[in-house]
Structure formats: structure tokens, C-alpha cells
Structure 1
Amino acid sequence: MAIDESITLKKLEVFLAFMERNNLARVAEDLGQSVVSVHRALHSLEQAIGCPLFKLEGRNLVPQDTARRLAESARRVVAECEDGIHAVRDMAGINASRLRVGAIYSLTLHCIPHLIVGTKLRKDGLNIELTLGSNDELLQKLQDGRLDAIVIGVHDGIDSKRLITVPLFSDEMFLAVPLDSPYASRSEVDLHELANENFVTLADGFITSYSFNQMMENAGISPVIGMHVGDIFSLINLVSNGMGISLLPGRIASFTPRIKLISLRPGHTYSQHIALLFLNSREQDRNLLALAAEGRTYSRRLLQGGDFPMLGEAE
């Protein structure tokens, strides 16, 4: 008998995930899909096979004996296909157990460790290689295929047509000053008060440099910039030692107690949007799906005030 063309490996994978988890919402999160898409895949598979696989009890889908029998065969089919793919990837020199992740420096204290640990728990044996760099450097490496995924600040200048974007969190920008600055006792500052101050900032290509430029442009200010630096840690040290002031995201507060972050008055506020990005041509990659699922978990727990530090304390 010919196999119905609507019976696909993807649907079998969704089916097996449901048989293991027995929960539509959890399967949807693991696979990076909507609950509706998961339910549709299961219903379509059932129709294609031509016999009932589940029964509805209340709002729950309950597998029948037919589903359990199908799962036995489906596991063998998917496993054989995976073995073949792994063998081909090995022949081509591509290591399926390696995930190359890039991130901006300021995310190394909380965000990136959580994502790495959580992803490795989801994918036992996965080797994650971390590369740090500026926003623009990491984006170029992703597009060139030198990285599998990146965690950076997103903005309107990024062409997202080829990218899958998983939002993680937003982080407000603050005025950063040394502890002995005249501004340190203030709870709020207007950007126009700073028009003649000496600023230090990051070089072009960093999300914080982009944010700095956007904020100054929005306020109509041409800032006096005494120095550009190539990493966030040098910038923090320069500010803390009185070499100038800067505009920095709230997560920087966790890196040092030697600078003061001061809120900006309404009309001058600005937030960075941090997200996980990978190419949409890799949207079915299991390693990236695990990373994306962990990213959504991280974001949700931040919003719910879970045990991750919140913005302004860390991330």
C-alpha cells in the first residue's frame, strides 16, 4: 500500500513528542510551535493513517492502543532517518553535537550562562562553543555560517528577513557616572543637561553604541566624546575612574558597584531589546530548537519575576 503523502517525518516527530510529553503546551514549547500547530499536525496524521489514534476526554487528548503501536514504528523510522543524517553530516565534516553560539559581552554574567546550562540539560551531550563580540561582528558571522545562533541587541537597522528572532528581554538605558560625580545624588537627569559633558562610549558596531547614538539624535544633541573603546569592561572602568560619563544599559549594574546608574527623564528614555537569532533555514535544527525553547523559558521567568535577577539588578 502506498504511504499517504501527508504522512511526513515532521508530523511523526510531533506525534512522538506528544506521546512522550502527553501535553500539547509542553510539546509546542519544546518544538517552538504554537499549540494550534501541534494539534493540527496530530489531527492531520490521524486522518492520513485512516484510523483513530486519540480520544478526547474533556480538553485532553488521550492516546489509544493504535497510537502506542504507531509510536513503536515511528521511533524506528525517525531513528533510522536521524542515523542517516548524522552519517552524512559526519562525512561532510559537520558535527551535529556542536552548537556555536555568539553573544555580546554584557550578557555573560546572567543571560548566557542560563541559556547554556538550560540548553545542555535539554540536549544531553551537546557541546556549546561561545564566541563573544560586538553586535555587528556576531551578525556577520551568523550570516556567513561561522555561528549557529547569536544573542545580541536587535534594532531597526537589522535585516530580519532571513532570521528567526526569539525575544529575551528589554533593558532600559541609564546615565552612568562615577560615584563622586555631581550627578550621583540625582534620581533623574535630563539629557539636555549633559550637552557639554565629556562622554566615553563604545566604538561603532556595539548595540550600546547604537543606543547611545540614537538617544543623542532623538534629543538633538551633538555629544562631546572624549574616547571610544572596544569593550564594555574598559568603558565601565573609564567611567568609574572619572574619565567621562556614558549611557549604559541597566544590566551593567551587576558588573561593578563603582558606578551609579541614573534614570533619564521621560521623553529621553530608551530600551535595548535583546534577542536570540538564527537563520530561518535552520528552523528545524533540533539543537537550535532546544536553545530557542530555553530562551523562551528564560524570558518568561524574567517577566514572571522568577529566580533570575531582574533588570537593573542584572538581567
Structure 2
Amino acid sequence: MRRTTSKVIINFLALVIASYFLFTSASEIFAQEFIGYSAAGIDANSIKPVVDAFRNAMGSPNNGNAPGPLTSGRREINWDGGGNNSTTSPAPTPFTGFQLIRGALFTTPGTGFVQAPPFGLATTFNNATYSTLFTTFSPLRLFSAVGSNVTVVHFFRPGTEIPATVNAFGAVFADVDLPDSTSAEYFGPEAESLGKVFVPPANNGLSFVGVFFTSERIALVRITSGNTAPGPNESASADAVVMDDFIYGEPLVGPPTDKNQCKKGGWSEFDFPKAFKNQGDCIQFVNTGK
């Protein structure tokens, strides 16, 4: 990838025991301008300052379940179901439970996804160590693919099934042991890779990684959680990782990349970079970027 000419790396020292890394040395170099956030520590308090800084970069409010389009704010998924500590039956892939209300859909090469507290993960994956190995950022539940260590996040305008893009995405991870086992790769509207970042390790703790793009839009994020799918497998080299809070910019439709997308009323579907006045206005943007 081409080395970006302008990057800002934000690292906050929350506690002495927290550890941090620079994207330039622990990731594939991003081709676009971005602001990166990363943290790792023993508990939620040790990474919270960085998570909050990432939230602040996207702005308020947390738009919750409000239908789009909304021109400001962010979305969050904490998997907790309003304080629910039950273990869900594995939902098949694609997992559409948050598509209409939060604008995010999840797929995996595995069989599906589970939301569960640590003791529920121990039962689901037949591994008693998970009840004490994993900790939460926001109580009470965590999130994991079943039968795979890969989760793909797709974005939609909340309240619709119209594909959308976001300007930022970050996630919390539990029990990352190795510096190169867990990553998030960001893709643009044309399926082009915008860059890949590795998650800093925090054995038995929590890690966070987030990327805010200053000009590019994210259409898809491919998350690799550890080097093995959660399960009864235990070895010195196995690094099973699960996830907690997902935080991302408000999903907006756009930008158009082909003038044909502007035709037959297509221009009226776009929210980003603006709401177009007519077909000609949309085509002008495709041709000139203005």
C-alpha cells in the first residue's frame, strides 16, 4: 500500500499497565488519511479514555435505534440487550438483528453468531476456561462468530435495506494474546482495501482499535478475532478472541461512484456527501467530485 502523507496517531496512557502501539509499525500502511485509536489494558477503565476519544471524534448523539438518514452522530452495539445476561441461541449468518435498527449486518464463514456473558460462552463453546478468561467492556454480554474467527460487518441506512457507508469503525476485543492474531481490515465502496490494523494484545484483558477516515468512506470491515475459532481447543499457540462494543459513524448512503447510479431517480437515495438536488447534480459530483 502507498504510505499516507498525513496521519495522526492518537494513543492515550490510561494506566501504567496499559499497552499501546503505533499503526505504522503494527499494521499495513493505510493508503488514505486517517486518525487511529488503540489501547490495551487489564479492564474497561484502562481503555475507556481511548474509546471515549473515538466516540468524541464521531460526535454526538448516540443515535440508538432511530431510523436514518441522520446527518450527525454515531451508532453503538454493546450486545447487552438492556442488561440481558442470557445466552442467545446462535443466530445464523447473515445476522440481521441490527440491520434495520442500527444499520449493521454481520456475516461469517462459520455457522452464525452468539451473544453471551462469559459463562454462557463457556457453555456454547464447551470450554470452561472462558467463564474467567474473557471480561466485558460493557456488562453483561460479549459477541462471537461460531465456527470461525472471521466476522464481516456490512453497513446499511438504519430503517432500510439500502447499503451505506460510514466514516469510522472501532471495536473492543477480549483476551488478545498475540500481537498479530487479531485485526480489522477496512474496505471502501468499490471493495478496495483502505488498510488493515492489528489489535494490541492484553492477555485476560481488553483491547480497542478504531479508525476514523477524514475523507474516505467504509463500506465493509473484515474482523479476524484471534488465530482460531472459539471452542474446546486449548494450546500454547491457540489465541481465541471474542468481541464487545462496536462503535461506528452514522451510516449514510453514498457517495455515488458511477453516473448510472444517479439515473432513474437514483440520485434521491444518496445522503453523502450531500443530498443531491437532481440527477444532474449527482452526475456532476461523479464527474468532478463537487
TM-score range, shorter chain: under 0.3
Q: TM-score, normalised by structure 2?
A: 0.26
* Greater fraction helix: 1
Q: TM-score, normalised by structure 1?
A: 0.24
